[in-house]
Amino acid sequence: MHFRVNRVWFWGLLCGGVICHAWAPNGYGQNRRQQQLELRTGWNSVWLEVNPVESDPTVLFEGLPIEIVACHFPIDSPVQFISDPLSVSWNREGWGVWYRPERADAMLSTLHAIYGQKAYLILATEDFQWSVTGEVTSEPIRWKSRSFNLQGLPVDPDFRPTFAEFFAGSPAHQPLRIYRLVDGRWMLLADPGTASIKPGEAYWIYAKESSAFQGPVALQMPYPQGVFFPDGQTTARLFLKNATANPLGVQVTPVSEAGVRDLSLSVIVRGIVPGEMSLLRVPLEEPMDLPALEAGEETAILFEVHKEAMVQRQQTGLLRVATDAGTLHWVPVAATRDDLPFDIKAASTRRARELHPARGLWVGQVALDEVNEVAVGVNEENQLEAPNPEVPTPARGVARLRLILHVDDDGVVRLLKGVAIVRRSEEDPADVALVTDHQLYPEFESVDIPQRIASAAYDFSALGGYLSARMANAFPVSLNAKSPAIVVAEAAADAAINNLTSTIEDIATAAQVAIDPSVALLRTATIDLQRSGLTALGLGDRLTTEWDDAGTRSTLASVVDELAASVFEARQILLSKKTGTLSLNTNERAELRDMARRTAAFAVERQAEAWGAVPLTQVELEGRLEIGALVRGDLFLGAAHPSNPYRHKYHPDHESGFDVHRKILLEPIPPDAGEVLQTPAGYGVDRISGRYSEEIFGLHKPLGPAQDLGLRVEGTFTLNRISLIGRINE
């Protein structure tokens, strides 16, 4: 295959332009094309190049003669290929599998989304051609050393090179050991020099050492998944390198999608015009042949976008980059122009139609490997030296916790204690429920045994109710300032003292009347958090969001009857000892008021303990489970909670534990610049990882000069999406 030389004589491409290192905005990535795949009856090894418009496999494969689809996910350890797909157990590490919903083993499906730049083994029941329309991504090949790699190769269907030609420039792959799926079994290629590569087919290819080899030509883009022109920038480069021992011809072609207005692009070159050398802008409107790249040569194409021709705030395009070595790369292009308005009506309609992209059930683990030190040591000069409690330091081991999150259709993130996956219909594969409350199990009928996923690492009580009860006792009795519980108690005592014939109902009414004004005063009071015990639990910053006046009023109202009865009984006992005129002296009145205060304080404390003993199945977190965002949560575990680690039903001293408060923070992060080439195509969509940190109060006295720091641990987390269901307990 030979490309004709353009009429402009290229002396080289201008070095300049702007390299875009930022992550692409959400509006990018709608560059689509159609991939054609020929499937035969039996097992097929497929390399999917596009992200399908519909990623749900049940919808994507509906109406197609496909029974099983298995996807290989790269793992850290070396990989051995599967010689016979019919004999494999797909629950092994590194594999996800989808079964047609009508099959008896459909509930064993672990593959819940289909993405491009991945290899799939597909079991078809008949020969057919599969046309897949999807978003184009341009991911580099990631070779795992000393391992077989299930990989497709970017080749031109009209000019297919042999395996020997494709890998001629890669010492890491010599000698070639490549297996192709033939009649359901992997067969070693006997002669890679004559066997040609088929586009859309995946092979087991052995790499004996680390390699960044991408083929006869290597493309390096400003952004790993395309060429972008942010607002204010009109130029960007695309780098190419010839990895062969021969000159290499390159052709760039703009590709249009029906009904989509593409970007207007030019290529900036140095060319000879009459009398001088000048910069030329060559419109990229048809296939453009670039000058031949010599062996080992690297060059750059400098593109310019004509933003004055843009009619939308964000527009996209697609480039087809082919070489006479038989390689073919698809490069997405996108640009923004912020001075153009959004189509608000269209955007709002689209938002109303779309569900949150992170919706579904996410399961993974946390690996904690750092903790702050709390023990005071002795330095080399035999002086006491306390470590900085704000700085976690590496631990000798790693603590691993299972983490279960659910994101609903609106993007709200919830931490789950456990979840049961219930399939309710054999006819409708989408009729699946996620149930977190075991008390609701009888309401859900399942056609088979539900799967349940649970975590022993996370458990919680009702924090809001607990705080409302504790705020009623925010000031201990010993302080001059009075808590609402004390104000109510004294009102009850005064009603009993001032009218020695008052009934229980009269005393209760007086206490009830005192509730509203006492709670209102609490909002304007200076609360001594240290003495109230809320600082030791790290709850001071939660008062404005978790404590509500109505909850405190309800707590006080619930103890009024008990308080009135106790005050009435105590007064009657004192009066029963009197003879003659009934009266109470100063000491007896003080004793009655003290008894009322203690009764109210103890009753409210029992209310707080009751809230802490109520098990919850889920807790709502703040933030969004997205790359670059944060997810925060406050987990409270009451002293009387059934799973409090300090409770022991067989030990009389362990009938209750300690109130525990945990502040967790998850920070999903993009890969570092040096790791971006090793990032799977589905990262951020079906797999998310990042930093995890937690601060725990209640298990140790507060740390730091201000005594406001808890035990701090840090580490990493990894989550995999196993379901796209955005609702729970429905």
Taking alpha carbons only, the member of 399, 404, 428, 439 closest to residue 418 is 404
CA angle 704, 705, 710 (to 5 degrees): 25
Higher pLDDT, 74 or 630: 630
What gap in Å lies between CA 118 and CA 95, rounded to an integer? 12
333 within 8 A of 28, measured Cβ to Cβ? no
Quote the pLDDT of residue 121: 92
Q: For 45, phi and psi rounded to 5 degrees? A: -105, 110
205 within 8 A of 244, measured Cβ to Cβ? no
Quote the pLDDT of residue 402: 93
Long-range contacts of the stretch 565-574 (C-beta < 8 A, 24+): 565/504, 566/595, 566/596, 566/599, 567/492, 567/493, 567/496, 567/507, 567/592, 567/595, 567/596, 567/599, 568/496, 568/502, 568/503, 568/504, 568/507, 570/595, 570/596, 571/496, 571/497, 571/500
Model confidence at 11, pLDDT cuts 50, 70, 90, reads very low
For 6: left if phi > 0, alpha if psi spans -120 to 50, otherwise beta; the answer is beta
pLDDT averaged over the chain?
80
Q: Which amino acid makes up residue 527?
A: I
Give me the residue label for tokens 């390689």: 327
Q: Is the pLDDT of residue 46 over 90?
A: yes
178 within 8 A of 206, measured Cβ to Cβ? yes
Across the beta sheet with 660-668, the strand order is 618-620, 413-416, 393-407, 360-371, 711-723, 687-697, 660-668, 631-637, 622-623
Pairing of strands 178-182, 202-207: antiparallel
Q: Is the pLDDT of residue 47 over 90?
A: yes
Model confidence at 461, pLDDT cuts 50, 70, 90, reads confident
pTM for this model (two decimals): 0.53
Q: Is the pLDDT of residue 367 over 90?
A: yes
Higher pLDDT, 425 or 694: 694
Pairing of strands 618-620, 128-136: unpaired
Taking alpha carbons only, the member of 530, 542, 545 closest to residue 708 is 530
Taking alpha carbons only, the member of 471, 496, 407, 494 closest to residue 722 is 407
Joined together, the tokens standing for residue 690 give 């990042």
DSSP label at residue 370: E
Q: Is the pLDDT of residue 269 over 50?
A: yes
Neighbour-count burial of 150, counting CB atoms closer than 10 A to its CB (0-12 exposed, 13-18 middle, 19+ buried): buried
CA atoms within a 13 Å half-sphere pointing along the CA-CB vector of 103: 13
pLDDT in tens, 299-353: 888 888 888 888 877 788 888 999 999 999 988 888 888 777 655 444 444 444 4
What gap in Å lies between CA 142 and CA 279, rounded to an integer? 38
Q: Which amino acid makes up residue 450?
A: P
203 within 8 A of 191, measured Cβ to Cβ? no
Q: Is the pLDDT of residue 501 over 80?
A: yes
C-beta atoms surrounding 187 within 10 Å = 12
Residues 495-510, mean pLDDT to the nearest whole number: 91
Quote the pLDDT of residue 528: 64
What gap in Å lies between CA 292 and CA 6, rounded to an integer? 11
Q: Is 363 helix (H, G, I), strand (E, B) or coil?
A: strand
Model confidence at 255, pLDDT cuts 50, 70, 90, reads confident
Distance, CA of 68 to chain centre: 28
Beta bridge partners of 220: 239
Give me the residue label for tokens 């391992």: 147
Give me the residue label for tokens 């299930």: 150
CA angle 668, 674, 679 (to 5 degrees): 55
3-state secondary structure 106-156: HHHCCCCCCCCCEEEEEEECCCEEEEEEEEECCCCCCCCCCEEEEEECCEE
Taking alpha carbons only, the member of 689, 95, 629, 699 closest to residue 366 is 689
Q: Is the pLDDT of residue 631 over 90?
A: yes
DSSP label at residue 237: E
Residues 536-563, mean pLDDT to the nearest whole number: 80
Across the beta sheet with 418-423, the strand order is 432-435, 418-423, 451-454
pLDDT in tens, 476-493: 544 456 788 989 999 999
Helix (H) or strand (E) holding 467: helix 463-472
Higher pLDDT, 587 or 89: 587
Taking alpha carbons only, the member of 374, 371, 377 closest to residue 393 is 371
Residues 85-93, mean pLDDT to the nearest whole number: 50
pLDDT in tens, 390-423: 888 888 889 999 999 999 988 899 999 999 988 8
Q: Which amino acid makes up residue 584?
A: L
Residues 53-58, mean pLDDT to the nearest whole number: 86
What gap in Å lies between CA 578 and CA 280, rounded to an integer? 114
Taking alpha carbons only, the member of 353, 440, 455, 456 closest to residue 406 is 455
Q: For 308, phi and psi rounded to 5 degrees? A: -65, -20
240 within 8 A of 298, measured Cβ to Cβ? yes
Model confidence at 164, pLDDT cuts 50, 70, 90, reads very high
Q: Is the pLDDT of residue 93 over 60?
A: no
DSSP label at residue 503: -
Residues 18-31, mean pLDDT to the nearest whole number: 37
112-121, 580-589, 702-711: range with lowest mean pLDDT: 702-711
Beta bridge partners of 669: none
Burial 428-462 (b: 16+ CB within 10 A, else e): ebeebbbbbbeeeeeebebeeebeeeebeebbbbb
Residues 575-599, mean pLDDT to the nearest whole number: 87
Pairing of strands 687-697, 384-385: unpaired
Burial 5-14 (b: 16+ CB within 10 A, else e): ebebebeebb
Q: For 642, phi and psi rounded to 5 degrees? A: -55, -30
Q: Is 569 helix (H, G, I), strand (E, B) or coil?
A: helix
Q: Is the pLDDT of residue 664 over 60?
A: yes
